[in-house]
Amino acid sequence: MRTGLIRSAVLGVAAIALVTACSSSGATTAPAASTVPATEGAPGAITATGAWARAMAPGATNSAVYVTLLNGTGTDDALVSAAADIDATVEIHEVSMVSEAPMESAGMGGGMSSAAPVESAGMGGGMMGMRPIEKLPLPAGAAVELKPGSYHIMLIGVKEPLKDGSTIEVTLTFEKAPPITLTVPVKMG
Ligand SMILES: [Cu+2]
């Protein structure tokens, strides 16, 4: 009886010591089953913040969704597709500088040039072009920003122009993590 008491007391002290050790040293390498409060969403998940879709002028047919994706899973992942609850084609796009090549539209390769219209905006000397990508890598622990002039979720052939103040539902599908559905506010760019 007496030894039992002592033993549990010792165990208790050991447990407290363990907890203390963990909480004081585990700042950077997060333990798997920790109680560290997450700033956004659940730990061990991909979280999306600041999502918005660009409001469209009457007659416009394209828009885009922007969002910051934080991969908190501890494993490299990737955004592989996106869908929206509107009548439109949804693609993941990247934007890159098109160097000198002026307007030689379907010239080279010719393979996938019909996929999406390339929207050009003269910024400085170069031209900005965008194109669909298979997937957007989301390295473990990193935040990837989809924003104007960079990666975005392209909405092509939108039947009903997105109006400022409304919302759309966007579902993001990842290579490994479970899909997430966002309620995305529509705003003026
Ligand atoms: Cu685009």
CATH number at residue 61: 2.60.40.1890
Strand ranges inside the chain, DSSP E: 46-54, 63-71, 77-84, 89-98, 121-123, 126-132, 136-138, 143-146, 152-156, 167-174, 180-187
Task: Determine the distance separating the centroid of ligand 1 and the alpha carbon of 130, expressed in angstroms.
Answer: 5
Number of domains in the chain: 1
Over residues 32-61, mean pLDDT: 75
pLDDT band of residue 188 (cuts 50, 70, 90) is very high
Task: Determine the distance separating the centroid of ligand 1 and the alpha carbon of 139, expressed in angstroms.
Answer: 22
pLDDT digits (tens, 9 = 90+) for 139-187: 999 999 999 999 999 999 999 999 999 999 999 999 999 999 999 999 9
62 within some domain: yes
pLDDT at 125: 63
pLDDT over 70 percentage in the chain: 63
Task: Determine the distance separating the centroid of ligand 1 and the alpha carbon of 39, expressed in angstroms.
Answer: 30
User: How many angstroms separate the CA atoms of 17 and 25, rounded?
Assistant: 12
pLDDT at 58: 87
137 within some domain: yes
Task: Determine the distance separating the centroid of ligand 1 and the alpha carbon of 175, expressed in angstroms.
Answer: 21
User: How many angstroms separate the CA atoms of 122 and 113, rounded?
Assistant: 20
More confident residue, 31 or 126: 126
76 within some domain: yes
26 within some domain: no
* Rg of the chain, C-alpha, whole Å: 24
Task: Determine the distance separating the centroid of ligand 1 and the alpha carbon of 99, expressed in angstroms.
Answer: 18
Burial 160-177 (b: 16+ CB within 10 A, else e): eebeeeebbebebebeeb
105 within some domain: no
119 within some domain: no
Task: Determine the distance separating the centroid of ligand 1 and the alpha carbon of 22, expressed in angstroms.
Answer: 46
The SS3 call for residue 12 is helix
Task: Determine the distance separating the centroid of ligand 1 and the alpha carbon of 152, expressed in angstroms.
Answer: 6
Q: Who contacts 89 (Cβ-Cβ below 8 Å, separation ≥6)? A: 155, 156, 157
Against a cut of 0.75, is the pTM above it?
A: no
Task: Determine the distance separating the centroid of ligand 1 and the alpha carbon of 46, expressed in angstroms.
Answer: 23
135 within some domain: yes
Hey, what are 22's tokens? 């963990």
Give residue 51's domain range. 46-99+126-187
pLDDT at 16: 36
More confident residue, 13 or 184: 184
Other Cβ atoms closer than 10 A to 11: 10
140 within some domain: yes
